[in-house]
Amino acid sequence: MGVEFRQPQYLRDSSGKTDDSEPTQRIRCPIHGFIHYSRNERKIIDHPLFRRLRYIRQLALTEYLYPGACHSRFEHSLGVMHVATLAFDRLAAHHGTTMERSFQKCAKYGFDKETAMAKARQSVRLAGLLHDIGHSPFSHSAEAAIDKNFDHEALSVRIVNGSDPGIKGLKSLLDTEFWDGCAETVADLIARKLPPQLTLLTNLISGELDADRTDYLIRDSHHCGVEYGRFDFKRLIESLEICENEAGGMEMAIHESGVQTFEALVLARYQLSTQVLYHPVRRIYDHYLTEYHKALSDGCMDTPGKILKENDVTMLARIHEDYQTKDPRRYKWAKRIIERDHHRMIHGQGIRSLATDVSASQRTFEELKTTYRDLDFVLDRPEKPVRIHRIRKANLTRSEEEAFQPLDLPVISKNRQKKPMSKCSLILNTIPMDFDIARIYLDTKNLSHQQRSDFEREAQDIWLRNGGGQ
């Protein structure tokens, strides 16, 4: 639907080769209201590779736990583009001259004197729009079963820059509708390979204050019907600042009046991760999806081109077919998913960061499997701890310093003095930078309630004996 919505004068007609760069199109979003885009951008949105995101849910099978969680990567990507634009425009309104001076140093990307700001803004919008275009079905669940070189970020870059001959990507469309070299700029932005003078653009898409994180926290909370991930993101955008980094470029900072809002963002991520994304029921269905994809023997997702032909709908059709035909390789996983017949957790210490507790859970699982060989146990343990934030905390140990490579997020005072966030926030010094889990599940279908309780007590006793809870 067309609508009159004009950009600032310095942005008009300088980032595209045609007159179709005005944001005359709009779409309704339950989170942000109207999201505006240009006719050029609509050509990206209408491309088959982007339309595919309509059929990839943001949270895989989380709807089995939160029935409203049926939203897609399509709407999230539009939201990231919108939030990134709001943040860019806020910074440009207050620091446009400084930003322009920094961007103009990057002639490689075509950021010349006349077009630097417009091209930077357009690059951020396109990177926000396309950052998830390479997601495999069921988002991260299937990704664990495919070639690591085909993870969603690497595949997104391949799609944008046209580096894979097996994919008819977006390079030609981007370079034709915007400017020569647009595809390379957007791909490098998504891959975080931009030079220091453009660090600010990377921060807007993938950083501690990024648009991706902002949108998914608000959107996932809305559709799950929970309050955990909500925070005042509009206030956070109003608090954004910039400062010079060590390499002479610009990077993101925050005004001292926004410290509490940033604390709320980090706390929101911690709570949504622990209460929704790593909920025990959601995690067991992620396990089934991963194992189902590992059991596929027809090579349907062994190349980037094949991955991009699949989505949640096509894979659910495969799962239903395997359930009906009782395919011996995949039936047990298909049955779990279709009948919502999942293992029950018999051991889990909540969200803990202590390596000794997690190791004790691993040993507990192995002992139970050895003792009860006729029962079906499942261990849920991520490959690595789940990262919450990378903001430097006070009194980090040397090992923590090496593990986290923490960032000193600058806080800008009213008189433009700069201090690290660790000196301005007591709360962030108490929120863990990551968390780890190890849970043991058991198929309790043929067990009585008392037998299940007995296994829970036995698992706890073994865990304590193995050094847990010390």
Contact 250, 98 (CB under 8 A): yes
110: tokens are: 């075509």
Reported as a single tens digit per residue, the pLDDT across 227-281 is 999 999 999 999 999 998 877 788 999 999 999 999 999 999 999 999 999 999 9
- SS3 state at 312: helix
Mean pLDDT, the chain, rounded, equals: 91
Section 194-198 average pLDDT: 92
Section 330-338 average pLDDT: 97
Burial class (CB in 10 A: 0-12, 13-18, 19+), 381: middle
Distance in angstroms (rounded) separating the CA atoms of residues 283 and 300: 24
Burial profile 385-405: b = 16 or more Cβ within 10 angstroms, e = fewer: bbebbebbbeebeeeeeeebe
Closest CA to 56 of 37, 81, 76: 76
Q: Where are the domains of the chain?
A: 9-133+170-277, 398-430
At how many degrees (to 10) do helices 116-130 and 152-161 cross?
Answer: 130
Section 167-178 average pLDDT: 94
In DSSP notation, 118-138 reads HHHHHHHHHHHHHTTTTPPTT
CATH topology of domain 9-133+170-277: Hypothetical protein af1432 (1.10.3210)
Reported as a single tens digit per residue, the pLDDT across 124-134 is 999 999 999 99
Section 117-145 average pLDDT: 93
Contact 136, 289 (CB under 8 A): no
Contact 62, 282 (CB under 8 A): yes
Q: What is the pLDDT of residue 349?
A: 76
Q: What is the pLDDT of residue 297?
A: 76
Reported as a single tens digit per residue, the pLDDT across 285-307 is 999 999 999 998 777 788 888 89
Confidence of residue 9 (pLDDT cuts 50, 70, 90): low
Q: What is the pLDDT of residue 19?
A: 56
At how many degrees (to 10) do helices 73-103 and 211-224 cross?
Answer: 160
Closest CA to 187 of 159, 151, 150: 159
Q: How many CB atoms lie within 10 A of CB 467?
A: 12
